[in-house]
C-alpha cells in the first residue's frame, strides 16, 4: 500500500537531508582544521582556516537535525507506513550511496598513496580516518532507520552519540586552535603588523618628498590624501614613533603573542605570511620596537621640478 506523501513529509525529509549533509561537511571541515593545526606542513606556506564558521554552523545545524529527526520519528511511530513513502526511501538510499561511495574512495586514496610510494603523513591518515568514521556513523544511522522503526531508546542513543561527536570536535578545535578570545588577540596582532608596515611606507615616502623624517606621526596627515594614520586596534591609542636621526626611526606597538611561537602561527585564523619574518617584523610578546634605517640609494629623494 502506497502511503501518500504530503507537503509536510517532503519538506521535513528535505530539511533532514540538508541539515545532515551540511552538518557532516562542517564537522569534517572542523576536524581537518584541527588536524592541519596539530600537524602543519613544514615546507610550504600554509595556514589554518578559521574554525568560527564551522563551529557556528554545527551549533545550529545539530539541533535542527535532531529536532527534525525527532519529529519524523514520532510521525513514523504513530503511522509505520510513513516509513515507506518515496521521499523517505529515496533520501535513505541517496545517503547510503553517497556515504558508501565516499568511504570507498577514502580507502582507494590510502591504497593509491601507498602503491604510488607517496609520503603517507600522520595528517593524511587522520583526515582519512575522520572521513571514514564520520561517514560510517551516518551510514549506520541511515541503515538503522531503513531496517526497522527505531525505538525511543535507540533514537536517544543515536542523539547522544551525535551530540558527543560534535561537542568533542568543537572542544578539540578550541584546544588546538585556541578560544575565540585567543583568535581575536591574534587578529589584533596581525592588524598591528599591517598598520606598522603601512606607517613605515608613509614615513619613507615623506622622507623622499620632504627630505626629512616627520617629527611626529601627525605630520603624515594630509588633507589632500586619503591616508589616515591608524591607531592600535586594541587600545585605540596611537602607535609610538620616534625619529632617531636623519635616516633612522623607530616604530613600537604592544603585542599579545610571540611570532616566533610556531604553534601559535600555525593556528592563525587569518593568513600569516612568512615574509613578515624576513622583513624583520618578527616580534615577541608585550611592548616591541622596530628600528628602521632608510637607505638613500634604495629610496632616493625626489628632486623638485623647476
Which pLDDT tens digits describe the chain residue by residue (306 residues)?
456 888 888 899 999 999 999 999 999 999 988 888 777 665 444 455 567 789 889 999 999 999 998 898 888 888 878 888 889 889 999 999 999 999 999 889 888 888 877 777 888 899 999 999 999 999 988 888 887 656 777 778 888 888 999 999 988 888 777 777 777 888 899 899 999 999 999 999 999 998 899 999 988 887 777 778 899 999 999 999 999 999 999 999 999 988 876 555 544 444 444 434 445 788 888 999 999 999 998 989 887 654
| 306 found inside a domain | no
| 168 found inside a domain | yes
User: Both 27 and 163 in a single domain?
Assistant: yes
Tell me, what's the pLDDT at 291? 93
Which residue, 116, 146, 177, sits at the end of a domain? Answer: 177
User: Both 170 and 200 in a single domain?
Assistant: no
User: Both 29 and 41 in a single domain?
Assistant: yes
Which residue, 143, 158, 177, sits at the end of a domain? Answer: 177
User: Both 70 and 158 in a single domain?
Assistant: yes
- What sign results for the dihedral spanned by CA atoms 291, 264, 59, 26? positive
User: Both 109 and 206 in a single domain?
Assistant: no
**In Å, how far from its chain's centre is CA 166?**
16
- What sign results for the dihedral spanned by CA atoms 47, 48, 49, 50? negative
| 303 found inside a domain | no
Q: What is the 3-state secondary structure (H, E, C) of the chain?
A: CCCCCCHHHHHHHHHHHHHHHHHHHHHHHHHHHHHHHHCCCCCCCCCCCCCHHHHHHHHHHHHHHHHHHHHHHHHHHHCHHHHHCHHHHHHHHHHHHHHHHHHHHHHHHHHHHHHCCCCCCHHHHHHHHHHHHHHHHHHHHHHHHHHCCCCHHHHHHHHHHHHHHHHHHHHHHHHHHCCHHHHHHHHHHHHHHHHHHHHHHHHHHHHHHHCCCCCCHHHHCCCCCCCCCCECCCCCCECEEEECCCCEEEEEEEECCCCCCHHHHHCCCCCCCCHHHHCCCCCCCEEEEEEEECCCCCCCCCCCCC
Render the burial of 182-196: b for 16+ CB within 10 Å, e for the rest. bbebbbbbbebbebb
Sheet holding 248-255, edge to edge: 240-243, 248-255, 286-293
User: Both 140 and 258 in a single domain?
Assistant: no
Is the distance from CB of 169 to CB of 137 less than 8 angstroms? no
User: Both 199 and 267 in a single domain?
Assistant: yes
| 304 found inside a domain | no
User: Both 51 and 156 in a single domain?
Assistant: yes
Tell me, what's the pLDDT at 97? 94
Q: How many domains does the chain have?
A: 2
User: Both 168 and 192 in a single domain?
Assistant: no
Task: Return the C-alpha cell found at 187.
Answer: 587578529
| 196 found inside a domain | yes
Look up the domain containing 128 and give its range.
Answer: 7-177
User: Both 69 and 160 in a single domain?
Assistant: yes
Q: Which residue has the cell 545532515?
A: 20
Which residue, 177, 204, 232, sits at the end of a domain? Answer: 177
| 165 found inside a domain | yes
What is the spatial distance between Cα 251 and Cα 288, in angstroms, rounded to a whole number? 8
User: Both 197 and 168 in a single domain?
Assistant: no
What is the spatial distance between Cα 19 and Cα 90, in angstroms, rounded to a whole number? 16
Tell me, what's the pLDDT at 48? 52
| 92 found inside a domain | yes
- What sign results for the dihedral spanned by CA atoms 180, 183, 189, 193? negative
Tell me, what's the pLDDT at 269? 42
| 302 found inside a domain | no
Task: Return the C-alpha cell found at 193.
Answer: 603588523
User: Both 236 and 262 in a single domain?
Assistant: yes
Amino acid at each position: 500500500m502506497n502511503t501518500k506523501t504530503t507537503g509536510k513529509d517532503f519538506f521535513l525529509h528535505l530539511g533532514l537531508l540538508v541539515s545532515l549533509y551540511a552538518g557532516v561537511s562542517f564537522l569534517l571541515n572542523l576536524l581537518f582544521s584541527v588536524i592541519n593545526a596539530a600537524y602543519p606542513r613544514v615546507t610550504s606556506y600554509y595556514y589554518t582556516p578559521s574554525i568560527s564558521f564551522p563551529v557556528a554552523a554545527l551549533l545550529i545545524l545539530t539541533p535542527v537535525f535532531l529536532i527534525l529527526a525527532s519529529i519524523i520519528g514520532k510521525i513514523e511511530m504513530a503511522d509505520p507506513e510513513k516509513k515507506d513513502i518515496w521521499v523517505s526511501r529515496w533520501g535513505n538510499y541517496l545517503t547510503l550511496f553517497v556515504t558508501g561511495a565516499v568511504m570507498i574512495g577514502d580507502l582507494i586514496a590510502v591504497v593509491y598513496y601507498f602503491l604510488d610510494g607517496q609520503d603517507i603523513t600522520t595528517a593524511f591518515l587522520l583526515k582519512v580516518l575522520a572521513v571514514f568514521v564520520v561517514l560510517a556513523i551516518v551510514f549506520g544511522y541511515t541503515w538503522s532507520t531503513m531496517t526497522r522503526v527505531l525505538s525511543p531508546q535507540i533514537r536517544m542513543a543515536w542523539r547522544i552519540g551525535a551530540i558527543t561527536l560534535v561537542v568533542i570536535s568543537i572542544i578539540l578545535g578550541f584546544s588546538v586552535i585556541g578560544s575565540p578570545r585567543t583568535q581575536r588577540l591574534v587578529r589584533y596582532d596581525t592588524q598591528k603588523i599591517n598598520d606598522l608596515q603601512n606607517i613605515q611606507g608613509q614615513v619613507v615616502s615623506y622622507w623622499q618628498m620632504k627630505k626629512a623624517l616627520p617629527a611626529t606621526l601627525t605630520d603624515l596627515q594630509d588633507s589632500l590624501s586619503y591616508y589616515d594614520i591608524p591607531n592600535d586596534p586594541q587600545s585605540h591609542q596611537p602607535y609610538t614613533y620616534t625619529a632617531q636621526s636623519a635616516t633612522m626611526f623607530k616604530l613600537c606597538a604592544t603585542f599579545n603573542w610571540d611570532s616566533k611561537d610556531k604553534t601559535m602561527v600555525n593556528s592563525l585564523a587569518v593568513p600569516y605570511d612568512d615574509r613578515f619574518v624576513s622583513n624583520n617584523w618578527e616580534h615577541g610578546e608585550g611592548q616591541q620596537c622596530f628600528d628602521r634605517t632608510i637607505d638613500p640609494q634604495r629610496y632616493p629623494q625626489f628632486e623638485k621640478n623647476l
